[in-house]
Every structure is written in structure tokens, then in C-alpha cells.
């Protein structure tokens, strides 16, 4: 039998994923624009390299944000499932002419090109999608632990070593009063939604 916290995380994921999938195309578009506006005000002015994602499953879209980055000369990358471990993410350069493929979750990702991989610590900012969040900045993901596993080495870096700002992004309807968290969950620096900016 699974532990109660596992069960509640799973049932929360299910209802929160349903809620975001239920948003209309128009609501999604407005949310994506509002998020771009929020991020344009929040991102540090020195940002040169930003990791994003391509939305699926009702996630808030970063397309306006990625276009805004490209207009300003901010380089962008997207996650790619690690070809060897299958459990970690690599980040690969992304621009309008990047060859794309679909991974085992049917999510679009850049076709693997080892020359285009951007090291995690070479990023100034990393935007990651949330299934759920609370006002304390706890994050619930899709349940695969991909970001937790990939970001775990950052916890070992010495103070002062450059590391990306970890920014969770979500629709406002992904917020819950309290999230059950686990020891391996990596804390975020900030959560940004179309209407909120929760700094931690």
C-alpha cells in the first residue's frame, strides 16, 4: 500500500491537471501574455541564457516569453530527456530553426545534438512548469521527479558559485493552500503566475 502523502500528491496532481486542461484557448493565450509581461519585469537584466519548456497538458505557454527573449538576444534552451539515464534532463539550445522531435511523453523537444547542450550552471534563469504550488513556494510536478533529480547537484554547490535562478511558472488555478512536500523536492527561488510573483 502507498503512503498517505503519496496518495494525496497523486490525487492533487490529477485534479490540478484537469483544472489547467479545462482552461479555454482564449484564457490560455491571455495567461501566456500576462506571464510574459510578469517575467519581463522580473527577470534580472543580466539574463543571457534562459531555460524554458514547450507547454503540454494545459501548462502555461512560454511561447510569448521565448519570443520576447529572442527579440532581446537572450539565448534560450529547452529540456531534453537524458538519452542514457532517461531520468534526468539535459538543456539544449533552442531557436526558431532548431530541429525538433517528440519524446516518450509525446512532448516536443530539440533533436539530440551534443554540440548544442548548455550546462545547467551556464543558465542565468530556469523556468519550470508546476502542476501545483503553495504560497510557501513548494512545487508539485508531474510526478516523474525529473527536475528534482536534475537540479539536485545545485544543492551541493558552494555559496557564491553561479547557479541559475529557479523560477516556477503556473496558472493561478494551480495554487493550493498547502502542498505535501518530500525531502528530495528542490526549493524554488520564485513562483510567477499571470497575476502573482511569490519570492521565497
Ligand X SMILES: Nc1ncnc2c1ncn2[C@@H]1O[C@H](COP(=O)(O)OP(=O)(O)O)[C@@H](O)[C@H]1O
Q: How far is CA 64 from CA 19, 70, 129, 132, 176, in A?
A: 22, 10, 15, 22, 26
* 185 counts as binding Mg ion under rule CB under 5 A: yes
Residue 42 is assigned to a ligand binding site: no
Residue 72 is assigned to a ligand binding site: no
From the number of C-beta atoms within 10 Å of its C-beta (0-12, 13-18, 19+), residue 22 rates as exposed
Instruction: Choose the contact partner of 142 out of Mg ion, ligand X, none; CB within 5 to 8 A by kind.
Output: ligand X
Per CB under 6 A, which region of 20-28, 98-106, 148-156, 167-175 contacts ligand X? 148-156
Q: Are 123 and 134 in contact (CB under 8 A)?
A: no
Q: Per-residue contact track with ligand X, 149 to 168, x per CB under 6 A? A: x--x----------------
Strands 139-140, 132-133: pairing is antiparallel
Instruction: Choose the contact partner of 144 out of ligand X, Mg ion, none; CB within 5 to 8 A by kind.
Output: ligand X
* 105 counts as binding ligand X under rule CB under 6 A: no
Binding residues with ligand X: total (CB under 6 A): 13
How many helices (H) and strands (E) the chain has is answered by: 4, 11
Where in 61-80 is the site for ligand X (CB under 6 A)? none
Strands 49-51, 108-110: pairing is unpaired
Lookup result for grid cell 539530440? 112
Short-list 122, 120, 50, CA closest to 82? 120
**What is the closest distance, in whole angstroms, from the C-beta atom of residue 193 to ligand X in the complex?**
18
Q: Per-residue contact track with ligand X, 125 to 144, x per CB under 6 A? A: ---------------xxxxx
- Known binding site for substrate: residues? 54, 59
Binding positions for ligand X, rule: CB under 6 A: 9, 140-145, 148-149, 152, 182, 184-185
Annotated binding site: 9-13, 54, 59, 139-147
Amino acid at each position: 500500500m502507498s503512503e498517505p502523502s503519496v496518495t494525496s500528491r497523486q490525487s492533487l496532481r490529477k485534479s490540478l491537471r484537469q483544472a489547467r486542461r479545462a482552461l479555454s484557448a482564449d484564457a490560455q493565450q491571455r495567461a501566456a501574455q500576462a506571464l510574459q509581461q510578469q517575467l519581463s519585469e522580473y527577470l534580472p537584466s543580466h539574463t543571457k541564457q534562459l531555460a524554458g519548456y514547450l507547454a503540454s497538458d494545459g501548462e502555461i505557454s512560454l511561447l510569448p516569453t521565448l519570443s520576447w527573449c529572442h527579440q532581446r538576444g537572450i539565448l534560450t534552451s529547452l529540456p531534453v530527456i537524458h538519452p542514457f539515464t532517461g531520468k534526468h534532463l539535459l538543456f539544449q539550445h533552442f531557436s526558431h530553426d532548431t530541429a525538433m522531435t517528440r519524446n516518450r511523453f509525446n512532448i516536443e523537444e530539440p533533436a539530440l545534438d551534443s554540440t548544442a547542450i548548455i550546462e545547467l550552471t551556464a543558465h542565468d534563469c530556469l523556468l519550470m512548469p508546476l502542476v501545483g504550488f503553495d504560497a510557501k513556494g513548494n512545487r508539485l510536478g508531474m510526478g516523474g521527479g525529473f527536475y528534482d533529480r536534475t537540479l539536485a547537484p545545485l544543492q551541493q554547490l558552494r555559496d557564491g558559485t553561479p547557479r541559475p535562478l529557479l523560477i516556477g511558472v503556473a496558472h493561478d488555478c494551480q495554487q493550493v493552500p498547502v502542498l505535501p512536500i518530500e525531502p528530495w523536492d528542490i526549493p524554488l527561488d520564485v513562483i510567477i503566475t499571470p497575476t502573482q510573483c511569490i519570492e521565497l
